[in-house]
Structure 1
Amino acid sequence: MARPRKVLIIDDDFTVVDYVSELLANWGYECAASGTGADGIEKFADGGFDLVLLDVMLSDTDGVTLCRRLKSAMRERQVPIIVMSSLSDPPPIQDARMFGAADYIRKPFDEKQFKAKIEKALDRA
């Protein structure tokens, strides 16, 4: 039996974290969450993640910088990153894609679209 895919959620809005964690659990994913970029880097370094869901605006850093740091921390195995944002201004999203994000989704998001983006990112990995 294959192990469930493991997703790291990095978002300082715990309402979003709870909602996304519940969705992912219902879809068969295992989740871990971080409320800050520093904690997210630490958890990511512990390894084993198949996907990272990253908010653009965090209390201690921005998602673009964190995306770059996560990508540089990856060795042999590239883990896809999906950037999440409630911003209507696209530049942070474009910046994140320049630094290696696989995709982005705007909050609040459509559950079907969100699931499709997750599956697509994991299929490409």
Structure 2
Amino acid sequence: MTDEKNGNDRILIVDDNPRNIQVLGTILRQNGYQLVVAQNGVQALKAVEKAWPDLILLDVMMPEPDGFETCRRLKASRHTEDIPVIFLTARTEPEDIAKGFELGAVDYITKPFNALELLSRVKTHIELTHRRKLQGVIEMAGAVCHEMNQPLQSILGYAELLIMDISPEGPGYEKAVKISEQVRKMGKITKKLMKITEYRRFETKIYLDGQKIVDIDRSAMKKKSSG
């Protein structure tokens, strides 16, 4: 059954084995993900330039550059460093797993893998990435509101001075009053936005900092198995 909620999420599969790509592709497509495929590191690096993926599933054992080197290059670029990378590989040695995380991967899954666990981890890391992006937008909106507040107060102050200096029957009085009214409305809007962004920043931070990935992962798996 297709999960339509994942329809806008794009995953880049990087694996030199066509059979692995076919199996992974079937699982992910059935759950509503859009797919981009690369069969080596060079293709993967070119693919991210053309279509930004929400997550990369990366094999290790590939022709040069291998998965580790591909990940290193991705994390070395400001353009691609924030794309979450999950290693999906038959390399199970502790030093390989440690190296994967040291290079910046968000997760390391060994083959053969459990489809339910894979989907759960993919969903978890994509959701975390979306929330971090949302947090960035919220912080930017809050900063814009803060910067707007001071000039609005200045405009309001000048408008009030004009109202005091002009008699109610004088030219420009009504215009000064309208300016004052509109600036006050804008001030109320920016204050509301600032309150909303403060709340959303707090809510997002609690989610990111207060809940461990494994807890989110287990929760997602429970929902999947009961659905």
TM-score (norm 2): 0.52
Aligned partners of 1:22, 1:101: CA distance in 2, in Å?
24
Deviation of 1:88 after TM superposition, in Å, equals 2.5
CA-CA distance at 1:114 after TM superposition = 0.4
Q: Which residue of structure 2 lines up, in the alignment, with residue 35 of structure 1?
A: 39
Shift of 1:108: 1.0
- Structure with more of its chain in strand, by fraction: 1
Which residue of structure 2 aligns with residue 87 of structure 1?
Answer: 91
- How far apart, in 1, do the equivalents of 2:102 and 2:51 lie? 24
In our comparison, the structure showing a higher alpha carbon Rg is: 2
Return the structure number with greater helix share: 2
Per-residue deviation, 1:75: 2.7
Q: Which runs of 5+ in 2 are unaligned?
A: 130-227
For 2:21 and 2:78, the matched residues in 1 are separated by: 24
Cα distance in 2 for residues equivalent to 1:58 and 1:118:
22
Runs of 4+ in 1 over 3 A off after TM superposition: none
8 Å contact kept, 1:56–1:92: no
Query: 3-state DSSP class of the match of 2:124?
Result: helix
Secondary structure of the residue aligned to 1:53 is strand
The answer for unaligned runs of 5 or more in structure 1 is none
Equivalent residue, structure 2, for 1:15: 19
Deviations 1:5-24 (A, max 9, x none): 00000100110001101111
In 2, are the aligned partners of 1:7 and 1:52 still within 8 Å (CA)? yes
Q: How far apart, CA to CA, are the structure 2 residues paired with 1:74 and 1:8?
A: 18
CA–CA distance in structure 1, aligned partners of residues 25 and 78 of structure 2? 23
1:59 to partner: Cα distance: 1.5
Aligned residue in 2 for 1:69: 73
User: Is 2:115 aligned against 1:111?
Assistant: yes
Query: 1:52 touches 1:82 (CA, 8 Å); kept in 2?
Result: yes
More divergent stretch after superposition (34-43 vs 1-10): 1-10
Inter-partner Cα distance in structure 2 for 1:114 and 1:99: 20
Partner residue in 2 for 1:44: 48
1:48 Cα deviation (Å)?
Answer: 2.1
1:100 corresponds to which letter in structure 2?
G
CA distance in 2, matches of 1:107, 1:90: 14
Query: What does the per-residue CA deviation read over 1:47-84, in whole Å, with 9 as the maximum and x for residues that have no partner?
Result: 32100000011122221111111122343871110001
SS of 1:52's equivalent in the other structure is strand
Match status 1:5 vs 2:9:
yes
Change (3 A) 1:77 1:54: closer
Query: Given the alignment, which residue of 109, 121, 124 partners 1:120?
Result: 124
Give the counterpart letter for 1:119 in structure 2. Answer: K
Q: How many positions carry a matched residue from both structures? A: 125
Rounded Cα–Cα distance in structure 2 between residues aligned with 1:28 and 1:72 = 30
Determine the C-alpha separation between the residues in 2 that align with 1:64 and 1:103.
13
What is the root-mean-square deviation of aligned Cα atoms in Å?
Answer: 1.9
Which of structures 1 and 2 has the larger relative contact order (alpha carbons within 8 angstroms, sep 6+)? 1
